[in-house]
Amino acid sequence: MKTFPMFLQMAGRHVVIVGGGEQAAQKTRLMLKTEAQITVISDVLEEELAALATSGRITQQRGPIRAAHFEHTALVFIATGCRGADGALHGLAKAAGATVNVVDQPALCDAITPSIVDRDPVVVAIGTEGTAPVLARQIKTRVEQMLEPDLGGLAALVGRLRAHAAQRLGPRARRDLWRWVFADTPRRTHARGAGRETARMIKQAIVTGDFGQETSASVALVGAGPGAKDLITLRGVQRLQEADIIYYDRLVDPEILELARRDAERVYVGKRPGCHSWPQEKITQTIVAAAKGGARVVRLKCGDPGIFARGQEELDALRAADIPVEIVPGVTAACGVAAASGQMLTEREHIDTLVLTTGHITEGCAVPQILHNLTAGTCVALYMAVRAAPEISAFLAARHGPHDIAVTIVAHAQTDAEIVIHCDIASLPETLVAHGITDTATLLLKLRKAGAQKSLGRHTNPEHGGLGDIAVRSRQV
């Protein structure tokens, strides 16, 4: 970010607006939403500003402008309509130590005014750092439609009741209360105009402690998706925002953690191949202990928690401890790598069987048993199989022919470092070595039905000895 979004305290503070035309009027309208003291410096005011000065809502100042006019101000807006005059006035204001916004001159702005959705005291500010004002207005329109007109009234009511709730309820109970207020019956009641009924409902809930507390799990096993943070589900985001403690894996995108509450504890429990500083037994025991201690826990796993993520062991331990647990599914790696490589996992008439399996079992790397009976019309997604690739390649090439099975290798799927490579089954081990892929890759094997083999449109890459067609993609825009 080139600019940092922040809300400034404006009550009783001084704002100076230089200019008497429409641009100055626009900034004045914006500041009139606050409790600031507004001075407009101009010898002549357009009609709207003149009326505001007459009514006493703003103060007009005439005469020569000096640096002293800008001292001890919260904000200064310069809007004379003349670029030269604006530039000179900017210098005076900066000499006085002011925070300045010069209209239509971003290079001279310390602060940029955002598009605002006003549900006082709920305020949503939308900024594009001056790059796309039209986009900001479009987002504003959508947010205006999302938020009911009197949502600010409900927020204000909650603000008045916070001290009462703090006296009677503990921290977690208060979070549950306010979640219920804003997501359930009180908000719907308030939205239809029944303010008194809403207040009575919330006050009673504070006294009785009965506010429809969720029966959802105190532990949620959440799938983070295959890579990018926007591939987590909405329910997964909701659980992150409710969590007191988050235990997360090595392959989870760190940006996903930014979706959680800022005060949630984050604990890294990642395991690298051959290096288990957090053994599974320790992870499971820690999660159980945290839940027994009353924390709302999220166990965040890459992909889907139920697919090669050792989720069953954690699930069994939580159930044995009589701890309620919820499973929040995620986009599994097979779906992520297929999308990354522009493929479908099934194809009508050609691929009618999908197998998810792993090349890493308890005893170590091995050819998955399912591959011993591989038949035409099958797509196999191989998880954690890079180390087993030589054995898998030799077995399948001998069983089906060296060129009959098309292979797609996707490393770091759905991230900025994503790599997609195509080869055949015979050249799989050499291709992995040539491209330096040793970990964090998923393999897709396709054995199409007779007559249905499709060309991958491969070309050899001379830098890697002709092994595989490689596509290195950046997701940065």
The residues carrying an active-site annotation are: 249, 271
Distance between CA 88 and CA 269 in Å, rounded? 57
Dihedrals phi, psi of 173, to nearest 5 degrees: -60, -35
- Calculate ∠ Cα 64-70-75, nearest 5°: 130
Locate 239 and state its tokens: 């659980």
Distance between CA 296 and CA 384 in Å, rounded? 31
Residues 6+ apart with CB under 8 A from 109: 100, 101, 102, 130
Helix H or strand E segment including 245? strand 245-248
Given a contact cutoff of 8 angstroms between Cβ atoms, the answer to whether 77 and 18 are in contact is yes
451: left (phi over 0), alpha (psi -120 to 50) or beta: left
- Count of CA atoms in the C-beta half-sphere (13 A) of 284: 16
Residues 6+ apart with CB under 8 A from 269: 247, 248, 249, 278, 283, 286
Given a contact cutoff of 8 angstroms between Cβ atoms, the answer to whether 304 and 353 are in contact is no
Q: Which of 266, 337, 303, 241 is nearest to 311 (CA)?
A: 303
Distance between CA 32 and CA 29 in Å, rounded? 5
